[in-house]
Amino acid sequence: MKVALIKDSKVYDNKLLGLTLRERIKKTLERAGFVVEFFNDGLTLREAESYLFILEPVLILERDLRLEGKKALISDNSLFGYLFEGDFRNFFSGDLLSAIERYISMNSIEKQEVWAVKVSEENLKKAEKLLLESLVKSEKTGLKPAYYDGVIARVVNRKISLRISKFLAGKNVTPNQITVFSFLLSLVAAMLYLINNYLATLVAGIIVQIHNILDCSDGEIARLKFMESSYGAWLDGVLDRYADFVIIFSITFSLSQLNQSYWILGFLAAFAALMIAYTGDKFVAAYKTTYKSKGIPITRDVRLFIIFLGSIFNQLAASLILIAVLGNAECLRRIFEIKVLNSETTTSKGWTTERRA
């Protein structure tokens, strides 16, 4: 058993985006495998394999927190806690600070940088800003999705979705509800494309971009409220594929009224949308890590934004051409890139593996 002992403070009673700071640090450390207790005076130690002491009020922002060994915990070169092994109990005689001092003097203690912020009544706004930044899919946050954020998600969507998530944080809204609502919006957009006039196409394009933004919010709320689940991630991925198909199908159907050859273009665009997602997900399943690529930027956020622009400028055929050409080119590029990556990995380790899908 691992025990986290946190020096209590009134600042932990403050609410930050729907949860108190006390709840946030407790849930974060429980996810890392610790039994969490707050203490004031009269501390006693139960027997444990390791002890985590947090002596300063702090908000831990790291999602994949890994604490092992004997460590001094640092954030921005500022000490806020210690991780000790079970033998610390032999040094403890009631005075925590002197026991820590003796333990450090007799053991080799390494430093571990943890993405966290010391909190006080004065810097809650800064803590809120950093907490929102921790929701973004990037390497810094410790998230391990199929992909990190694409260019449109970073530059456009997150600017708005984080504001939406901030508003929804204190509301009785679940991530799956946002996922389903976002999917229903994609169906509304698809129906509008079938009307086949510019006004309906314009409104459909705007709805597609709203759907694109909300596709970020469901994950943000899940992370913000500690409501991540395997089912939620699966549902989001499945409904995204359905949304991609119905949007591209409805656009293709409308264009085919002018020329039946647009069915070929629509098929290639739908195939590209499916395979971009599939190659990323299969990479994660096979290699157990996020797919990081500097290839053609044609992830879902970009594809939907291309459709949005095509709707605004009434150039839906051009949107499908871009998605079909760039998407399928990127899939082919990935086949060769991952083959090279796999060859380098197996050669360096001296073994080979066979995988079938």
Residue 140's domain is classified under what CATH number? 1.20.120.1760
Is residue 127 assigned to a domain? no
Q: Are residue 206 and residue 289 in the same domain, yes or no?
A: yes
Q: Are residue 201 and residue 292 in the same domain, yes or no?
A: yes
Q: Are residue 146 and residue 81 in the same domain, yes or no?
A: no
Q: Mean per-residue pLDDT for 178-185?
A: 97
For the cut 80, the answer to whether the pLDDT of residue 341 exceeds it is no
Q: Mean per-residue pLDDT for 327-336?
A: 93
Q: Are residue 231 and residue 336 in the same domain, yes or no?
A: yes
Q: Are residue 181 and residue 118 in the same domain, yes or no?
A: no
Is residue 319 assigned to a domain? yes
pLDDT for 356 equals 33
Average pLDDT for the chain: 91
Is residue 197 assigned to a domain? yes
CB 124 within 8 A of CB 14: yes
Q: Mean per-residue pLDDT for 173-198?
A: 97
Phi first, then psi: give them for residue 36, nearest 5 degrees: -105, 130
For the cut 80, the answer to whether the pLDDT of residue 351 exceeds it is no
Query: What is the per-residue pLDDT across 316-326, written as a single tens digit (0 to 9) for each?
Result: 999 999 999 99
Which of 65, 89, 122 terminates a domain? The answer is: 122
List Cα–Cα distances, 281 to 70, 222, 230, 287, in angstroms: 36, 20, 14, 10
Is residue 129 assigned to a domain? no
Q: Mean per-residue pLDDT for 291-297?
A: 81
Query: What is the per-residue pLDDT across 19-57, written as a single tens digit (0 to 9) for each?
Result: 999 999 999 999 999 999 999 888 889 899 999 999 999
3-state secondary structure (DSSP) of residue 289: coil
Q: Are residue 224 and residue 334 in the same domain, yes or no?
A: yes
- What CATH number did the domain enclosing 114 receive? 3.90.550.30
pLDDT for 347 equals 53
In the chain, the percentage of residues whose pLDDT exceeds 90 is 76
Q: Are residue 152 and residue 110 in the same domain, yes or no?
A: no
Q: Exposure of 66 by Cβ count < 10 A (0-12 exposed, 13-18 middle, 19+ buried)?
A: exposed
Query: What is the per-residue pLDDT across 58-108, written as a single tens digit (0 to 9) for each?
Result: 999 988 888 999 999 999 889 999 999 999 999 998 889 999 999 999 999
How many domains in the chain? 2
For the cut 90, the answer to whether the pLDDT of residue 191 exceeds it is yes
Domain with 43, as residue range(s), is 2-122
Q: Are residue 95 and residue 218 in the same domain, yes or no?
A: no
pLDDT for 268 equals 97
For the cut 50, the answer to whether the pLDDT of residue 288 exceeds it is yes
Amino acid (one-letter) located at 171: K
Q: Exposure of 56 by Cβ count < 10 A (0-12 exposed, 13-18 middle, 19+ buried)?
A: middle
Indicate the DSSP class of residue 203: H
Q: Are residue 170 and residue 269 in the same domain, yes or no?
A: yes
Give the Cα separation of 31 and 2 in Å (integer): 12
The two structure tokens encoding residue 327: 């998407």
Q: How many CB atoms lie within 10 A of CB 119?
A: 23
Q: Are residue 74 and residue 175 in the same domain, yes or no?
A: no
Query: What is the per-residue pLDDT across 122-162, written as a single tens digit (0 to 9) for each?
Result: 999 999 999 999 998 776 666 666 667 889 999 999 999 99
Confidence of residue 350 (pLDDT cuts 50, 70, 90): very low
Indicate the DSSP class of residue 122: T
Q: In what order do the strands lie in the sheet with 71-75?
A: 34-39, 2-7, 50-54, 78-85, 71-75, 110-113
Is residue 344 assigned to a domain? yes
For the cut 60, the answer to whether the pLDDT of residue 355 exceeds it is no
Give the Cα separation of 176 and 189 in Å (integer): 20
The two structure tokens encoding residue 116: 């966290």
pLDDT for 357 equals 33
pTM value?
Answer: 0.88
Is residue 184 assigned to a domain? yes
Is residue 69 assigned to a domain? yes
Is residue 215 assigned to a domain? yes
Q: Are residue 77 and residue 180 in the same domain, yes or no?
A: no
Q: Are residue 116 and residue 167 in the same domain, yes or no?
A: no
Number of H helices, E strands in the chain: 11, 10
Which of 97, 122, 147 terminates a domain? The answer is: 122
Which of 100, 122, 144 terminates a domain? The answer is: 122
Query: What is the per-residue pLDDT across 192-203, written as a single tens digit (0 to 9) for each?
Result: 999 999 999 999
